[in-house]
Structure 1
Amino acid sequence: MTELLTALRAIVGDSHVLTGEADRAPYEADWRGRYKGRALCVVRPGSTEEVVQVVRACAERGVAMVPQGGNTGLVGGGVPHTTGNEVVINLSRLNRVRAVDPVNNTLTVEAGCTLATVQAAAVAHDRLFPLSLASEGSCQIGGNLSSNAGGVHVLRYGNTRELTLGLEVVLADGQIWDGLRGLRKDNTGYDLKHLFVGAEGTLGIITAAVIKLFPQPRARAVAWAAMESAEAAVALLSEVRAACGERLTAFEIVGHAALELVLQHIPGCSDPLRAPAACYALIELSDPAADAALQEMLQTVLSAQMEAGRVSDAVIAASGAQIAALWALRENISEAQRKEGISIKHDVSVPVSRIPDFLRRADAALREAFPDLRIVAFGHVGDGNLHYNLSKPAAAENADFVAQTAVVNRLVHDIVVGLGGSISAEHGLGQLKREEITRYKSSVEMTLMRSIKQALDPHGLMNPGKVL
Structure 2
Amino acid sequence: MRNSSNFLDAASSILGEKGLTDDPELLEPWLTDWRGRYTGRALALASPGSTEEVVALVRLAREHDVAIVPQGGNSGMCGGATPDTSGTALLLSLRRMNSIRAFDHADRRVTCDAGVVLQTLHEAVATEGLRFPLTLGGKGSATLGGLVSTNAGGTQVLRHGTMRALVLGVEAVTPQGDVFSDLDPLKKDNRGFDLKQLFIGSEGTLGIVTGVTLRLVPAIADRVVGWVGTDSLESARALLLRCRDRFSGALEGFEVLPAQCLDVLIDHIPDARRPLADAHPWNALIELVAEDIADVPALRSGLENLLAEAIEDRLGRDAVLAANEAQAAAFWDLRENISPAEKARGPAVQHDISVPEARMPAFIAKVGPVIEREFPGTRVVGFGHLGDGNIHLHVLAPEGADKAWVESDGARVSARVYQLVTQWGGSISAEHGIGQAKVGQLARLADPARLDLLRRVKAALDPDERFNPGKLVALAKGTHPH
TM-score by length of 1: 0.97
Matched position secondary structure for 2:204: coil
Matched, 1:344 2:346: no
Instruction: Deviation per CA, 1:13-32: give whole Å up to 9, x if none.
Output: 13321112112112211122
The letter of the residue matching 2:374 is: A
Unaligned regions of 5+ residues in structure 2, if any?
A: 474-482
Instruction: Deviation per CA, 1:303-340: give whole Å up to 9, x if none.
Output: 11111111110000110111011112211111211221
Higher alpha-carbon deviation: 119-128 or 189-198: 119-128
Higher alpha-carbon deviation: 167-176 or 411-420: 411-420
Determine which of 389, 395, 407 is the counterpart of 2:394.
389
In structure 2, the partner of 1:333 is 338
Residue correspondence of structure 1 range 76-155 to structure 2 within 5 A: 76-155=79-158
In structure 2, the partner of 1:21 is 24
- Contact 1:258–1:376 (8 Å) recurs in 2: yes
User: What is the Cα deviation at residue 396 of structure 1?
Assistant: 3.9
Determine which of 458, 462, 468 is the counterpart of 2:463.
458
Higher alpha-carbon deviation: 12-21 or 70-79: 12-21
- Contact 2:347–2:401 (8 Å) recurs in 1: no
Matched position secondary structure for 2:293: coil
- Contact 1:255–1:377 (8 Å) recurs in 2: yes
Instruction: Deviation per CA, 1:255-297: give whole Å up to 9, x if none.
Output: 1110010011111111121211111000000010112122112
In structure 2, the partner of 1:164 is 167
User: What is the Cα deviation at residue 357 of structure 1?
Assistant: 1.4
| Residues 236 and 178 of structure 1: CA distance in aligned 2, closer, same or farther (over 3 Å) | same
The letter of the residue matching 2:443 is: T
Matched position secondary structure for 1:195: helix
User: What is the Cα deviation at residue 402 of structure 1?
Assistant: 6.5
| Residues 256 and 399 of structure 1: CA distance in aligned 2, closer, same or farther (over 3 Å) | farther
| Residues 6 and 372 of structure 1: CA distance in aligned 2, closer, same or farther (over 3 Å) | closer
Distance 2:422 2:444 in 1: 10
Matched position secondary structure for 2:106: coil
Distance 2:12 2:335 in 1: 45
Distance 2:471 2:49 in 1: 25
Determine which of 215, 222, 226 is the counterpart of 1:223.
226
Determine which of 365, 376, 389 is the counterpart of 1:360.
365
In structure 1, the partner of 2:184 is 181
User: What is the Cα deviation at residue 400 of structure 1?
Assistant: 5.0
Residue correspondence of structure 1 range 45-56 to structure 2 within 5 A: 45-56=48-59
Distance 2:406 2:343 in 1: 17
User: What is the Cα deviation at residue 403 of structure 1?
Assistant: 2.8
Distance 1:198 1:383 in 2: 18
TM-align CA RMSD: 1.4
User: What is the Cα deviation at residue 407 of structure 1?
Assistant: 2.5
Distance 1:403 1:313 in 2: 42
The letter of the residue matching 2:318 is: D
The letter of the residue matching 1:134 is: G
Distance 1:465 1:206 in 2: 19
User: What is the Cα deviation at residue 410 of structure 1?
Assistant: 2.9
Distance 2:280 2:378 in 1: 19
| Residues 165 and 157 of structure 1: CA distance in aligned 2, closer, same or farther (over 3 Å) | same
| Residues 90 and 353 of structure 1: CA distance in aligned 2, closer, same or farther (over 3 Å) | same
Determine which of 277, 282, 286 is the counterpart of 2:285.
282
Distance 2:452 2:212 in 1: 29
Distance 2:15 2:302 in 1: 56
Instruction: Deviation per CA, 1:398-444: give whole Å up to 9, x if none.
Output: 86586312321233222211221101100100000000011221222
Residue correspondence of structure 1 range 308-323 to structure 2 within 5 A: 308-323=313-328
Unaligned regions of 5+ residues in structure 1, if any?
A: none
- Contact 1:167–1:180 (8 Å) recurs in 2: yes
Distance 1:461 1:224 in 2: 48
The letter of the residue matching 1:100 is: F
In structure 1, the partner of 2:416 is 411
In structure 2, the partner of 1:208 is 211
**4+ aligned runs moved over 6 Å, structure 1:** none
The number of residue pairs the alignment matches comes to: 468
Matched position secondary structure for 1:98: strand
Distance 2:172 2:456 in 1: 19
The letter of the residue matching 1:75 is: C
| Residues 397 and 78 of structure 1: CA distance in aligned 2, closer, same or farther (over 3 Å) | closer
Matched position secondary structure for 2:292: coil
- The percent identity for this pair of structures is 42
